[in-house]
Structure 1
């Protein structure tokens, strides 16, 4: 019997995460498979099965002692295919990835509506998962009913899309089911059709959570955020109504989906995003330098910041530079719309500085510039022929040959977060009179923990179009005036089975160092906001930090469309 199976699984769950208990915020204590008072009986589950069929099933925990399972945990595609797993395995003193009780693997908006009706009627903790990349654990809760949009992955290209009920001018667009991942979207839009859609960097990131979280990609300075490209969405709200929302229909809800946080206002089942002209080129720069002393490292950071202000502060450049406590500067930046000669000229000043002071530096990875046809950046076959070391392929039997991930993202599969802090750094810090203070703060913070500057996640210096579209979202306006998002993060090996006392001690030590590094950097940006999708689980002023002046507006939308608080996530509006 399904009920017995669910009870057996629920009784075996070893841990009830923080995210599972937060549902009491506005809706009162909810039953789950461990708190059987009020848990739906067998007749109730049969009624749900009558509506969704075999899409309803028990969630079976994996056997991590099985060598085959253990080997597959390094693959984000394997993790993606498991109802019991999430792409991060937890956060110290926050949450731990734990299988829910049962799942509906939805194939349609009707399946979603039926599941929402059931959860609302029986006051069951409902969790929504698309790509499963939530750092804060939004797609996971013990003893819950999982609404999994994994199979809702249709992709439709439009030459001339007009949102329903509007008189807007038609634009090229793509409609994506909420179970789509960005690699599939790029394969259709860029590799296949020769256009660009603003998406995420990791290939297995889900499109729905990305857009609702704001959504920065490598080329956001040119194209804006993913939220800024949203034209229309299909969403099922807490009343189980299937709505098509845009600037003319339920416009307040539509606006909330443009960066207001995933899993908060309803279950998005389809998004339609504007597509853009593809530039001639995309490219990558990699360079790793180690300074032989603290003083020479400080000078290196000074020279790099000067180059940022003079040559890299533009719509053409994105991604990051990481300065470490070991006096290493690792540069991994992307470019768009530049030829090889022009791109190389942007780095001449820094190359001259390093080559003129070689007694102070060790080149651990030589300067490498790769410029490729933009249409080939997500073309797995082309990458395997020209630069196979960049990617890892899903080699499981029956897997699509089009499914791969960036080799540099492998360590993120199943990672357990020790700490993760972010802050938008205002562009004024690049002014000549403020650069020295900024460089000193960056250097000082690295004495505690490495600090990365993600230039594509600050929109200052970007195109006018990117700024305009991103301003029409509900993200913290600090992003518009920032030249970069500083990220200070630390993680450990997967912890699906828990942590030892030794691991806990190490994690809390890392957490403390991250806090110290963040505090030092915040001395030059004391009121800087934070990016909701990449922020601190323990952030106290998260409403202001993540949404700024938009929070009260979002709270009103939450009360209107989800008055009983059916949808709850950590650091979610109204939670």
Structure 2
């Protein structure tokens, strides 16, 4: 099978496109990048306005022609589809799926558009754009369809596929006083995060986003709108809980379990500078020992970075503790640093802060009390709730040079193995920044969270990992149409090589460790095992059952090895 392109004689006629447009209430868009004007008139006001918003994730998300990442060197470049269905209801999606199937079109699905691997865009394609599928509804006692008697009623939130986490948190937490497990980056799309597994700052307590899924509505390759849960189409329901977005169908709505909100959430931040490589190695070992004793539990998430200049950067979040409890826990570590003499220096003094959890995603509270922590959507008339964390601005429009991730087993924190892990992190950090994301490994989580995560399609390695190590590098936005040559390709390739090489020390101490599908290398080796481990054969069976012709294709997604690199020519069946 070969999919058709606009230059092919089998490409749908204008009459056929008009017919589709009529069936979906006029919601078929002829896609054009807002940066196209820059090719012709780079000094034009429209070009300047677009360039001024290129680091605004809300602007990027509201443009069907753009994506949250602009590309990856030697891998992909953000490219608009030919047409987009701006879906507002499930029937719009079903009509688009049937049209793509009948006309052999390359189909792309985009909600938040945050795919580092470029899976939410493709040239010569039809885009199903779910951004307009909004709506958030809270339940005190939700029971999935046909599950009466099997499942007790429980608090939940039903969310449209086009929603982003910032708006969901505002409704569920700020207004509703509950917690829903979503993403740390507040502008990530809900549907994509859940389908990839999904980590948030407090996953050590509440598990993954996928493990909170109670029910979903999805359109499969046959154009049928389905409600899936543990009773109805349970195999498909399991597959979309971490099996990867865009591979099994188009999710149009999700219902997620909500949790009691902790009293407090807080942050611990500090930067420690070592005077010599030997002192830095000792600092890494000291921190790992502290982690094993005090952080491997449900309270802690987010990151600690180790850098080539011998600095350790702490940026940890906590929940379920107050400021005094967090301070007592960290004091022995900071005392040991202060007592190390000239070999260690606290470059940025430790700050330990806590706030009522209900205010964590409250824009008015954060803007008043920590105005530098958040940024606002600066477009004229933008809703006040359109805010994002300042630390995520670097992700908007990023052009990736390299990206590697490895789940680190908790067994490496045992005294017998810790020296090897210390050496590996020391070697890696001497070549490139390495960041440990403690909330992206579930070792230390409570039994309930582990049990729920075990019933998802994610690689079981996540259950035994204390952290996900990420080594990455990127440059500024490089969308087509931007003035000049935004990418220094030789420099980007050199960086990619260094990033890849830096990760090898970690792969020596964790040779069979998996990788998180949404945060990994475009060139991931042995990706079925790395992303899904022992679950991949079952995911393949689900793919063949619900999408036997491979209508849904994403790079390194389930079944993608049957197609060529861009998903247009089928290589095997």
Name the TM-score, length of structure 1 as normaliser: 0.94
Partner of 1:474: 457
C-alpha distance in structure 2 between counterparts of 1:153 and 1:501, whole Å: 34
User: Is it true that 1:543 corresponds to 2:516 in the alignment?
Assistant: no
Cα distance in structure 1, aligned partners of 2:455 and 2:3: 36
The one of 476, 491, 501 equivalent to 1:516 is 501
Q: Does the CA contact (< 8 Å) of 2:241 and 2:456 recur in 1?
A: yes
The alpha-carbon deviation at position 354 of structure 1 amounts to 1.6
Residue 443 of structure 1 corresponds to 426
Structure 2 residue 90 is the aligned partner of structure 1 residue 86 = no
Deviations 1:425-481 (A, max 9, x none): 111111111111111111011111111111101100111111011001010000000
Structure 1 window deviating more from structure 2 (245-254 vs 496-505): it is 496-505
Match of 1:55 in 2: 27
SS state of the match for residue 133, structure 1? coil
Deviation of the 1:397 alpha carbon: 1.4
Q: Distance in 1 between matches of 2:347 and 2:190?
A: 36
**Where do 1:209-224 residues align within 5 Å?**
209-224=192-207
Contact (CA 8 Å) 1:253, 1:557: kept in 2 or not? Answer: yes
Provide, for residues 326-362 of structure 1, a one-character-per-residue CA deviation record: whole Å limited to 9, x for no partner.
1111111110000111101221222112211241233
SS at match of 1:421: strand
Q: Of 513, 516, 541, which residue of structure 2 is paired with 1:556?
A: 541
1:65-464 aligned within 5 A: 65=42, 66-166=47-147, 167=149, 168-464=151-447
The CA distance in 2 between the partners of 1:62 and 1:294, in whole Å, is 49
Cα offset for 1:552? 0.5
- The CA distance in 2 between the partners of 1:522 and 1:362, in whole Å, is 30
Contact 2:477 2:486 in 1 (8 A): no
Secondary structure in structure 2 of the residue aligned to 1:127: strand
Q: Distance in 2 between matches of 1:345 and 1:97?
A: 48
Q: Find the counterpart in structure 2 of residue 20 from structure 1.
A: none
User: What is the root-mean-square deviation of aligned Cα atoms in Å?
Assistant: 1.2
Q: How many angstroms apart in 2 are the aligned matches of 1:433 and 1:349?
A: 23
Change (3 A) 1:164 1:175: same
Give ranges in structure 1 of 5+ residues lacking alignment.
1-27
Q: Secondary structure at the match of 2:521?
A: coil
Runs of 4+ more than 3 Å apart: 498-502
Q: Give the structure 1 partner of residue 571 of structure 2.
A: none
CA change 1:274–1:191 in 2 (3 A) is same
Checking the alignment, whether the CA contact within 8 Å between 2:111 and 2:129 is kept in structure 1 is yes
Change in CA separation of 1:189 and 1:502 when aligned onto 2, cut-off 3 Å: closer
Match of 1:30 in 2: 3
Deviation for aligned residue 1:58? 0.5
Matched, 1:506 2:491: yes
Specify whether residues 176 and 298 from structure 1 end up closer, same or farther in structure 2 by C-alpha distance, changes over 3 A only: same
Q: CA-to-partner distance for each residue in 1:83-134, whole Å, 9 max, x for gaps?
A: 1110011111111001111111000000000111111110111110000001
CA distance in 1, matches of 2:518, 2:555: 11
Shift of 1:82: 0.5
Question: Which residues of structure 2 form unaligned runs of 5+?
Answer: 561-573
Return the alpha-carbon distance in structure 1 between the equivalents of residues 457 and 513 of structure 2: 16
Which has the higher mean CA deviation after the structures are superposed, 293-302 or 212-221?
Answer: 293-302
| 2:510 alignment partner in structure 1 | 525
Do the aligned residues in 1 keep the contact of 2:366 with 2:373 (CA within 8 Å)?
A: yes
CA contact (8 A) 2:433 2:471 kept: yes
State whether residues 312 and 346 of structure 1, in contact with CA within 8 Å, keep that contact through their aligned partners in structure 2: no
What is the SS of the residue equivalent to 2:318? strand
147 and 439 in structure 1: CA distance in 2 versus 1, 3 angstrom threshold: same
Q: 2:525 and 2:15 mapped to 1: Cα distance?
A: 43
In the aligned structure 2, how far is the partner of 1:370 from the partner of 1:407? 18
> In the alignment, is the contact (CA less than 8 A) between 2:211 and 2:456 conserved in 1?
yes
Q: How many residues align?
A: 547
Partner SS state of residue 468, structure 2:
strand
Q: Distance in 1 between matches of 2:349 and 2:49?
A: 38
What is the TM-score with the length of structure 2 in the denominator?
0.94
Distance 2:247 2:442 in 1: 25
In structure 2, C-alpha distance between the alignment counterparts of 1:469 and 1:29, rounded to whole Å: 40
Distance in 2 separating the partners of 1:37 and 1:312: 61
For 1:276 and 1:32, the matched residues in 2 are separated by 47
**Distance apart, 1:501 and its partner CA:** 9.6
